[in-house]
Amino acid sequence: MTAAAQSPSQALPIRPLLARLTGWRAHALALAAGAMATLAHAPFHVVPALIVAMTILVWLMDSAPLKTWRKAVFARAWWFAAGHFVSGLHWVSQAFAVNPDFNLALGVLATLALGCGLAVFPAVCLALAKPFWTDDYRRIPVFVLAYTLADLLRGHLFGGFPWLLSAYVWAPGGAVSQTASVVGAYGLTVLTLLLAASPAAIFDHGRGVRRFGFVMVSALGFGLLWGFGFQRLSSASIAVPGATPVVRVAEPGLSQREKWASDPDEVLLAYLGVSGDSETSSADFVIWPEGAIPASAYTLVNRVEPGSRTYVLEPVRTGFIAEVMGDRVLITGATSCAPDEACRAYFRGERGLEGLVFANSALVIDAVTGSPRPAGLYDKHRLTPFGEFIPMWSLISTLNIAPLQRIGAGFSPGPPPQRLVVDAAAEPLVIHICYESIFPGFTPRGDARPGWIVNISNDAWFGGGVGPAQHFAIARYRAIEEGLPLARAASGGISAIIDAYGRAVDIADPALGYAEAQLPATLSETLYARFDWWMIGGLLAGLVAMRLAAPRFAPRDVRP
């Protein structure tokens, strides 16, 4: 092989083996490694799978031919990421099987398109790392920086989709996950990738510390993180100071098809049946999931004017709610519609969708007086692309494509979440609806900081497997990051009450249909909540400094 065709890390002992893996063989190995990385995420949490996968990806970059290095790295990184995202997000296809307007085959194609599209982010970022690549341990921080930038970009561009971050391989509520209280999920992703990629340096030049130095330092660093988390959890008080409210999250286990096929009042009665009453429950708050009240016949909430915060309850439902809720507060997902009279006419079949504004809402109903009244309303701010709205709808409306939610052209977004003061005896709360719980930093901070988080979700779209388990794990990281307890009601998913350390206090038993516990204590504002991007920026700056530092364990700097 001529020098022009050799890889940038031509002297590495691993190169002779991987150099033979060209073309489809290299792509097949990358694809398999990416799929293996999925085993590190919920519900499996096999962390060594991520370490093996990331090490293989670094070696594949090392062994890419010098002459076509950037092109080869793009292809190998793309196949790796495609294997990871398609396998990790395979459950998305189930949503298309639920909606009679679509089918599972279309869902499979949509999942492939989603995974392959997301794979472009790491492929581009790693290919651009060419000028900074070396044949020593300093390429590891370059790799981590590029991969983290890819995660940041896909988490913010085009609506954002920060799913499958490397931070989430650590089971929430465990020792290492507590690091998110300091640097957040993105910061923990940086540290996790450093650990996962560091074994690639074992086959570098030299012996002893030259080969194992970087991986030993990385392992020691994670030992310190584990020690920090262990100490944080061991000092956590089990007792809840003060008189915090008792919360019940209720979910009767109805599938999405059952909701659509049943009469709305039958669905309402099913939720009331697992909500308890004054004799069977001591709850002050009852929480139902997103979409608990279907909009197939009429909406629970009607606004008087578009964009107005004035709204009324449909009279047909208030009797049911008043009879069971008593003096408790109900938080439920519902579809809202404006303007009022036009919405009523639409649901009577007297007019079309023109001029109507729909929102995916969370409604707070105060039944303390015995006559339910609206006490708060939150319209989902971050809508799910293609699930709740069609991007560039005005351009593609002629194709007659409807969102999975089957609400005309989709929902309209509301303003960012604000804390809601519902009960003077309870801390203010903030509501995250489904998809919103995957975004770090979505909870208000400073003077607007709430006392707890309510997360309502509809995971019934995705079956009862990997997808809901991943969503549950991700939502628990929001509690760790913010130092706030979390009450989560998820239709078809995992409903639970979580403390401010990400630990489950009570998880709903499917046979009972609810979880109930005293709301865990609120912690003081975490370092991540105070400094947020400063913490992440500091870690990224540290990666740059590691790359620019003079090499200690390797004598040469060979760049592609």
Could you list the active site residues?
Answer: 290, 380, 434
Q: Which helix (H) or strand (E) holds 455?
A: strand 452-458
Burial of 396: CB neighbours in 10 Å, binned 0-12, 13-18, 19+ = exposed
Count CB atoms within 10 A of the CB of residue 418.
13
Closest CA to 381 of 332, 444, 426: 444
Count CB atoms within 10 A of the CB of residue 538.
13
Contact assessment for residue 294 and residue 267, using Cβ atoms and an 8 Å cutoff: yes
Token pair belonging to 370: 């015995």
Token pair belonging to 317: 């439902």
The answer for residues whose C-beta is within 8 angstroms of residue 447's C-beta and 6 or more apart is none
Contact assessment for residue 291 and residue 259, using Cβ atoms and an 8 Å cutoff: yes
Distance CA 55, CA 14 (A): 12
Closest CA to 147 of 58, 71, 223: 58
Q: Which helix (H) or strand (E) holds 481?
A: helix 466-482
Angle at which helices 120-127 and 104-118 cross, to 10° = 20
Count CB atoms within 10 A of the CB of residue 211.
19
Contact assessment for residue 96 and residue 114, using Cβ atoms and an 8 Å cutoff: no
The answer for residues whose C-beta is within 8 angstroms of residue 340's C-beta and 6 or more apart is 302, 303, 304, 305, 312
Distance CA 450, CA 483 (A): 10
